[in-house]
Chain A
């Protein structure tokens, strides 16, 4: 997939670029409003990561131009402003999602993947990974033809892993994804372990190989 990262903060831009590029995607970057505008007008992307506060303009204006020209690109706003008004403004203008800084790269990846999935597959809501088939509408997971019952959190976690396959996903990122960052789960990482244990058990009982690896006590990695 082809992604445009519009972000003025160099450190963040580089990290995002690196995280997404490794996956075999094509990433382009823009560090200010002017560059962003020219790229948006010239090329099409599967997803545009859009920072609202740019040194020479507002990301909202970039979004307006995308929508005025009916460019089909998915747009994910990454903003430091965690206000509902901004969020609503962005979504009303046609952004697909809104992520507040600071975020985990794995969370960003999961969101971008979801946007692209929605854009690309249209009506089809099947996610297939090897022998695992996930129906995104009915939230059903099948291995081969055999349906597996996952709890809500286990299902969310599986999708999260699939979006970040091959990457080490930190426990913090998992906790924030499952419980939201409003809830402080710092002392409660044990649940992540038990959730993951359950997912592994269920998948392996259905005949999958062990996809989930623990990574140095910091997190987990979903490998092919």
Chain B
């Protein structure tokens, strides 16, 4: 749920609740004030009746007015308690100006009324006085006030929602910009996260934190890369010494078969160590984009050349090589492409079985290298990670990582799939 929606929901609910409560209080207050006003009128009327009785010693003429009715009824003395009541006011409507819809009221309209029950003694007769006043105007007033209040509430809500949407969207704009930058953040990239223009303190802070964090991450990453490079470089010298000492050692004569085997194993191990180290160095260099000498390359020719390099191995393993190469010119580093191709072809041979086959297809869009091998598809997400290799493999475990890195370097994609019992590596240009 978006922050805006969340905020709007909370806002809406509280606004409605507060408005309703206010509305109720408002209604009660106004209705109390107006009823009070009615009561005062009634008391004035009562007083008039009393005054009239005092002066004339008889009941006043009951007269009909639009909004007041007085009735006197005889009652046993002392039986009437003075009180204000809510009652119904019968309104007589003239036949002529009676509206159509009121016809069924039989000349009368019922309206809410406020009454005062009182008593008066004229001579020896005790009378109950009932003064009823129409409350219709009061009710109308309250209704009007209530309608206005509801309208105001609605208007307020609509304004709130609209302005929130507009303003919040604009206010949150820096946040979205920062998000976008973060999403595009690449630790290996040299591009910095730019400062986002904002006057909001929180976003300034966020932006600053993000920029700082990115810079720190980059610095750490750079340190790590420098460390890797330095470590690999430092390893070169001892490896060179071991290598040269081994070369010197085998010049001395008379080795027993056991010693020869040990020396052979040593050679193999050093050679592996060296390749591993070279691969690490190469990876760092590619990631740092230190190998940028690029040139126009005829990929068809280069592929043919690489195939030539492996010719004897194809023959030796009885591997059937089918290739179909279209002309394809690319602009890339010759050195890296050679590594890419030789790694892929080498893998295709290494993980093949005797008398298997390899297909190499070069089109304008892609280069596809397929090989037979174990009939189990490889896990695509794993094979490109560093030091992932099959238990039988004697490679460095960096070959495919390097391949993918090289492809990324030139904005190609390298994918693996298993098609018709062929392990398929596809470079899409």
Contacts and interface: CB of A to CB of B under 8 A. Distances in A.
Interface of A: 9, 11-12, 15-16, 18-19, 22, 80-84, 101-106, 153, 167-168, 170-173, 176, 179, 181-184, 186-188, 190-191, 194-195, 215-219
A9 B233 CA distance: 14
Nearest to B242: A102
Given A80-B237, A105-B244, 16 more contacts: A15-B248, A84-B291, A84-B335, A103-B240, A168-B251, A170-B267, A171-B267, A181-B278, A182-B339, A184-B394, A187-B350, A188-B316, A191-B312, A194-B312, A216-B250, A218-B255
27 contacts: A22-B251, A83-B290, A83-B291, A101-B237, A102-B242, A102-B244, A103-B243, A105-B244, A176-B271, A179-B309, A182-B339, A182-B342, A183-B342, A183-B346, A184-B275, A186-B268, A186-B272, A187-B394, A188-B313, A190-B316, A191-B313, A191-B316, A216-B250, A216-B259, A217-B261, A218-B250, A218-B264
A102 B251 contact: no
Contacts of B291: 83-84
B94 interface: no
B247 A15 contact: yes
Contact of B240 (A84, A102, A168, A217): A102
Contacts of A11: 241, 244-245
B316 A102 contact: no
Contacts of A81: 233
Contacts of B241: 9, 11-12, 15, 102
A102 B242 CA distance: 9
Interface of B: 233, 236-237, 239-248, 250-251, 255, 257, 259-261, 263-264, 267-268, 271-272, 274-275, 278, 281, 285, 290-291, 293, 309, 312-313, 316, 335, 338-339, 342, 346, 350, 394-396
Contacts of A83: 285, 290-291
A102 B274 contact: yes
B394 A101 contact: no
Contacts of A217: 257, 260-261, 264
Query: What secondary structure prevails in chain B residues at the interface with A?
Result: helix
A16 B240 CA distance: 11
A171 B313 CA distance: 16
A48 B41 CA distance: 127
A218 to B, nearest CB: 5
B201 to A, nearest CB: 48
A183 B343 CA distance: 7
Contacts of A101: 236-237, 239-240
Contacts of A16: 244
Nearest to B264: A218
A218 B248 contact: no
Contact of B255 (A84, A187, A216): A216
A88 to B, nearest CB: 9
A8 B338 CA distance: 33
A173 B274 CA distance: 13
A19 B255 contact: no
A77 B393 CA distance: 35
Contacts of B268: 172, 186
Contacts of A102: 236, 239-244, 274
A191 B309 CA distance: 12
B233 to A, nearest CB: 6
Contacts of A153: 312
Contact of A15 (B245, B260, B271, B313): B245
Interface centre among B244, B250, B281 (most CB of A within 10 A): B244
A218 B247 contact: no
Contacts of B396: 184
Given A16-B244, A102-B236, A181-B275, A82 B281 contact: yes
